[in-house]
Structure 1
Amino acid sequence: MIATFRYEFRMQIRRPMLWIVYGLTLAVTVAGFGSTYVTLDLGGGQGTLPNTAMVASATLLMSLLPIVYGCLLADRLVRDRRLGVAGILDTTPTGHTARLVGKYLGTCAATVTPLALAYFGRAVAYAIAEGEPSALGWAVAVFVVAIVPGLLFVGALALAGPLLMPPMLFQVLFVAYWFWGSLIPPSMMPTVSHSILSPNSQYVAYGLLGYHLPKLPPNTVLPPEGDVYGPWSDASLNFLRPVATESTAFLWIGVMLVLALSVLSLARLHTTRTES
């Protein structure tokens, strides 16, 4: 597993396309949200406190960059079979499960590296500019508990999806899924966005990290309940949107980890059946 992890990490991190596509997407994000990216203030009168600033930075980067993350992982698991080396790897002492876990962790760690550099680079710039070294601690906390769980699920989905369809088709469907399941407001159509099933939910930000918004008019694109992150008025599937608390924040983390493990288990079962 460790050998597979190292090999997959080195191979993925050296892909020029990894850095090019991330760089272009980051440029689009900054161009579209330039003033917010500079101030790291999403509004609500919270100013740029370290915890809210790091949440704002994560919110901006997690809008589009996970699309790059998922699409770049789409060919990693099927590559061995396409190149005809799967049979050779099967003769090595390592087991199928260990190789799958090593490939999953190695490729995910490499693919998330540009995103992590962009996030922590902005955190360092904020800490220096604002004289708030505590922002670095908040950045680590936000990244570990609010970003990583969702990306673990997305990574498992991106590895396993192409086992059932061509990678290019999966990439197209994944982009549609990300917008539908993470970015589209629930008031527009039935969607799992802003729910415990969405990898981009902010249950941790509201439930654990002290983020909040003041009361807002009902016609805004945010929940009219204001600082209550949870059910949306006149939205379907609200049973998947409990009010954000510490318990629901940990529930979201647990759901993401369980989904990731379930998808990987199904991928392992699929490869076993196709090889037998």
Structure 2
Amino acid sequence: MINQLAVFQGTFRYEFLMQIRRRSLWIGMLLIGALEIAIYARSPFVNQFVQRDLDLPMPQTLASLALLLNFFLPATFGCMIADRVPRDRRTKMEELFNALPGALSVRLLGKYLGSVCATLIPMLLFFLAGVSFILYRTGNFESILLAIPVFMIITLPGILFISAFSLACPAVMWVPLYQFCFVGYWFWGNFLSSRNGIPTLSDTLLAPAGKFMAVGIFGLNHMDVSATPIQGWESVLLLTALALVALGTLYIVLRWQQAVK
């Protein structure tokens, strides 16, 4: 047990440091964040946020902020996670890891959580910058107390979901192809309403952008979806469970690939 814990800690630390030191992570997140701000500057959503949402109860204001940030940044997040397994193969690190003691499941969990935590930091900084703006405009220190819980409930389940699939799918797909398909999926599966006549997951509990959590759990009035608190929590549980399914499938695939070598 102690040995497996040490393996997990070592893998987590390696993946976290590898990811957090990547210039492409920070440059990509900053560029996409700047693009999102530029788009919102010309969008009625910002006027709605400043003129209406700042006067809502603080949990709803923070929920609205989380939804604003969940438009572009998670798409970048998924792309940044996608090369972690292929990179280990390309640099021969996978062979080194396989030669060391420690269960594959433990190393996989460390890789997943280390990559997610590192990639999550730029996103969290953007969110906290928005919280600072809310605090400046409202003077309500409740925004500081509620910021992390709101982020964890609205944003984190979707991030865990897309990260698991972004780790698993490139194990059997060409990374650029997956990234292209993933970006298309993100906007199709979250922001394209089925009312337009095109089948989509955006109106279901599988939408990872957090609409069901914001509406169902925090009571935010969203034009595209209605949800009860139970549906909000169901979306949280469903996305988290599917993330575990994706990781379990990746474990099976990696075991099979090791066996056939």
Same-fold status (TM-score > 0.5): yes
Task: Decide whether the 8 Å contact of 2:67 with 2:210 is kept in 1.
Answer: no
**2:232 is the counterpart of 1:249:** yes
Partner of 1:200: 209
Aligned alpha-carbon RMSD (Å): 1.9
Tell me whether 122-131 or 255-264 shows the greater mean CA deviation. 122-131
Distance (Å, rounded) in 2 between the aligned partners of 1:210 and 1:43 = 18
One-letter code aligned to 1:129:
R
Note the residue ranges of structure 2 that are not aligned, 5 or more in a row. 1-7
One-letter code aligned to 1:28:
L
Distance (Å, rounded) in 1 between the aligned partners of 2:22 and 2:142 = 34
Aligned residues: 250
Partner of 1:75: 83
Task: Decide whether the 8 Å contact of 1:37 with 1:57 is kept in 2.
Answer: no
Distance (Å, rounded) in 1 between the aligned partners of 2:40 and 2:145 = 24
Q: TM-score, normalised by structure 1?
A: 0.85
Change (3 A) 1:212 1:76: same
Partner of 1:29: 36
Cα shift at 1:101: 0.3
One-letter code aligned to 1:106:
G
Partner of 2:15: 8
Change (3 A) 1:96 1:201: same
Report which structure shows greater RCO (CA 8 Å, sep ≥6). 2
Q: Please, which of 66, 90, 110 is the counterpart of residue 74 of structure 2? A: 66
Cα shift at 1:44: 6.7
Partner of 2:4: none
Quote the sequence identity (%): 32
Partner of 1:238: none
Task: Decide whether the 8 Å contact of 1:146 with 1:204 is kept in 2.
Answer: yes
One-letter code aligned to 1:199:
P
Partner of 1:237: none
Cα shift at 1:113: 0.8
Partner of 1:226: none
Partner of 1:124: 132
**2:37 is the counterpart of 1:54:** no
Partner of 1:241: none
Cα displacement string for residues 232-251 of structure 1 (whole angstroms, at most 9, x for unaligned residues): xxxxxxxxxxxx11211111
Task: Decide whether the 8 Å contact of 1:181 with 1:198 is kept in 2.
Answer: yes
SS in 1 for 2:134: helix
Q: Please, which of 86, 91, 96 is the counterpart of residue 94 of structure 2? A: 86
One-letter code aligned to 2:35:
V
Change (3 A) 1:203 1:15: same
Cα shift at 1:151: 0.4
Partner of 2:252: 269
One-letter code aligned to 2:115:
T
